[in-house]
Structure 1
Amino acid sequence: MILIETVKELRAWRKSAGRVIFVPTMGALHDGHAALVREARHMAGTDAQVAASIFVNPLQFGPNEDFDRYPRTLEADLAICQAAGADMVFAPGVKEVYHADRSIQIRESSLSNVLCGASRPGHFDGVCTVVAKLFNLVQPDDAVFGKKDYQQLAIIRRLVRDLNFPVEIHGLETVREDDGLAMSSRNRYLSPAERAQAPALRAALVKARDAWQADVTGGCHLLHIIHQHLAEHATLGRKDYIALVDRHTLQPLDIVQNDGLIALAVFFDKARLIDNIELVR
């Protein structure tokens, strides 16, 4: 596996790389990220290259968010990428990605108005901008993203569609701890007491899905199940949002027959955790 830190080196690598499967990350990697790289390796076989990126993107952090304290663990991240089957890791500095006088940014105006986008104004504009830049630089044929951030996945699919990037996007199921908590780089922010309560997020979602599978289709009833479970089992958490939406358009649903998504975000002091569950027959 090779490490590339400059655009010049990356472009030279790309000229002879052939087909490329790409996994963009912000580092602080865990087994959820490793699963994305392993999936890319499986897709690539022996005929394609697996590329990953490690870049903490300042454009997607708000002024009161955790950009400065976001964990940077490059040495450990590289070991994870290599063990999972990456051929190349692109790990540039901020000045390598963004010019000091940059004046162009991509804005998404529909899918980003709800869920995390409503709570974090400008976040997905930063995501779209950096992903577009990485796609232009790496020029992948395929890219793999996790379903944990379902809104991000939907927006990136829209980005590819609307801007005609020749990249096929693949969504991988959320990788979880043994107790159901979605793996996240921000889980390390949790105190022991918060960590003990955090699995209630997944348990609440599963409880609502079980009710839906038993033909409870009303959104108010399904969301009430989640609110009640969290009120009883996640007392240290503060709800940001809990929403029932169409999993393609992300628009709110009052009744869900199929193609639904329940998504939530909960604050635990220093950690903001997200999770979701599909309602698909």
Structure 2
Amino acid sequence: MRIVRTVAELRAALEPHRGGGIGFVPTMGALHEGHLSLLRAAAAENETVVLSIFVNPTQFGEAADLDAYPRTEEADVELAALAGTHIVFAPSAAEMYPAGFATTVSVHGALTSTLEGAVRGRSHFDGVATVVATLLLAVGPDRAYFGAKDAQQVVVVRRMVTDLRIPVEIVARPTSRDADGLARSSRNARLSAEERRLAAVIPRSLRAAQDAFASGIRNTHRLTSLVHEGLTEAGLDHEYVRIVDADSLEPLTDIARPALLALAVRVGQVRLIDNVVLDPGVDDRIALEGSLR
């Protein structure tokens, strides 16, 4: 496995592999099983696998959150090698945003103004879209892999790739979860034992809504109320619990097509997000992606 630090090195390393299938997994490091599952999927479907490790400062709204984000490159590289990675691109901020950098990629409309966009502001997804576009153009992959936990990010990236005609397939893989159902996240490492116990209420509350949906309830207010109740009983503060169209992210009153039930919750000082898809076309509720079973 090779580690490169500059775009020039990256392109030179990848040139011999063009045409053989390049899979790309963009990350901010602090790899966990969710990231490794993406790398393994990329390895199974491509001849060459590229991992990027870059803590992108432009998508953090809080300086403290950026400072607290774990940086574990040495351990990440070892895990990536075991998962079948061939090239690790680990640039500096100066490499990604060189002197004079003055371009922002911005996706407009409901895709970025709701959910995370409503709480963290437009600048968050401007940061995401800009860094992902920059990485995709640097790597030039055939496929790029993202986790379904960041569902809104996937929708935004797909819109950007379509609009800018970037020749890459965006592959969304199911949310990776621990045994207690909690979605795997680099932020989980910052939870104390008691906070981790409380955080497990998040997937249980989502499951309650899934069960109600499976029983035939389609009203979004009734479904989100079940989630609110679970979180409130545990004393957890939520920033949002919303049900939106899975593709457009427009708000829904009743579910007649695939919908995204998404939330953001504060557990102590740690901000966690999660979601499940509620699809009236699936008889055995959420038997596939994002299942909490």
**Aligned runs of 1:86-97 on 2, under 5 Å?**
86-97=85-96
Partner SS for 1:66 = helix
Q: Match for 1:33: what amino acid? A: H
Residues 200 and 37 (structure 1 numbering): CA distance in 2 closer, same or farther, change over 3 Å?
same
Deviation for aligned residue 1:56:
0.4
What's 1:274 paired with? 273
Distance 2:178 2:216 in 1: 29
Deviation for aligned residue 1:35:
0.4
Partner SS for 1:148 = helix
Distance 1:64 1:211 in 2: 39
Q: Is the 8 A contact 2:146 2:172 kept in 1?
A: yes
- 4+ residue segments displaced more than 4 Å: none
Q: Match for 1:141: what amino acid? A: D
What's 1:133 paired with? 134
What's 1:75 paired with? 74
Deviation for aligned residue 1:100:
2.8
1:124 aligns with 2:125: yes
CA deviations on 1:176-234 (whole Å, 9 max, x unpaired) are 110000000001111221100101111111110111111100011001111011111x3
Distance 1:63 1:221 in 2: 33
**Aligned runs of 1:62-211 on 2, under 5 Å?**
62-110=61-109, 111-121=111-121, 122-211=123-212
Q: Is the 8 A contact 2:177 2:183 kept in 1?
A: yes
Distance 1:113 1:128 in 2: 14
Distance 2:148 2:210 in 1: 17
Distance 2:99 2:67 in 1: 18
What's 1:38 paired with? 40
What's 1:223 paired with? 224
Deviation for aligned residue 1:253:
0.5
Q: Which moved more, 1:75-84 or 1:56-65?
A: 56-65
Distance 1:153 1:87 in 2: 24
Partner SS for 2:51 = strand
What's 2:24 paired with? 22
Identity of aligned residues (%): 45
Partner SS for 1:255 = coil
Q: Match for 1:25: what amino acid? A: T
Q: Is the 8 A contact 2:231 2:237 kept in 1?
A: no
Distance 2:159 2:183 in 1: 25
What's 2:11 paired with? 11
CA deviations on 1:98-153 (whole Å, 9 max, x unpaired) are 01321111111120100011111111110000000001100001111000010001
CA deviations on 1:52-101 (whole Å, 9 max, x unpaired) are 10000111011445112211100000011101111111001111110132
Indicate the RMSD between aligned Cα atoms, in angstroms: 1.0
Partner SS for 1:16 = helix
Partner SS for 1:266 = strand
Distance 2:259 2:105 in 1: 28
Partner SS for 2:263 = strand
What's 2:291 paired with? none
Deviation for aligned residue 1:269:
2.3
Distance 1:147 1:185 in 2: 15
What's 2:264 paired with? 265
Distance 1:117 1:201 in 2: 21
Distance 1:7 1:257 in 2: 45
Distance 2:134 2:50 in 1: 15
Q: Match for 1:51: what amino acid? A: V
Where structure 1 has 5 or more consecutive residues not aligned to the other structure, the ranges are none
